[in-house]
Amino acid sequence: MKHLLLTALLFCFASTGFAQTNLISYDDLSYLLHNNINKADTFFTAKGHTLVKKDEKKNLRNYSLKIPGGTYVNTNVRVDGRRMYVEMETNELAQYNMIYNSISQYLDKESATPDVQTFTVKDLGVIYVMVNDAVPYNPIRREYTIRIVANKGITAYN
């Protein structure tokens, strides 16, 4: 009985430690922007996201992650030439916090207007964050649109 309780307790600590592994961070964004779009398929699948739409002609991929509690993270990845653009729509506060906390040590410049927060991140690019009220209105939940535009020097490898 004591052994079973200890095993259950260890499992709970292990699962909470890996609870945010499916959320996207600075390192994940850097990996995505430096690699081609085909590696994004493998990357998002490993993170637990599902491929919703794949358009070979437009070099566009849409991924979705449903999180328990009614929250979600929808990610659009687009290639234009050799540069990749990432756009995330989410109502998961932990995703916004994950990106904000992981880029904080790499910030070159940060600015904000009433509608948009802008972060210039070293070795990555510019991150634009727009925050809107959720529909239907919920004072606890907000909707975040996060757009990542890579620096000119960052191109995807084949």
Summarize pLDDT for 73-124 with one digit per residue, the tens: 999 999 888 788 999 999 999 999 999 999 999 999 999 988 899 999 998 9
Computed from CA positions of residues 65, 156, 54, 146, in that sequence, does the dihedral angle turn out positive or negative?
Answer: positive
* Residue 114: per-residue pLDDT: 87
DSSP run (H or E) holding 121 = strand 116-121
- Look at the pTM and tell me if it is higher than 0.75: yes
Partners of 76 in beta bridges: 62, 87
Other CB atoms within 10 A of residue 33 CB: 23
Report phi then psi at 28, rounded to 5.
Answer: -65, -45
Number of other CB atoms surrounding residue 80 within 10 Å? 9
Q: In this structure, which amino acid lies at residue 12?
A: C
Condensed to tens digits (0 to 9), the pLDDT of residues 10-54 reads 344 444 444 458 999 999 999 999 888 888 999 999 999 999 999
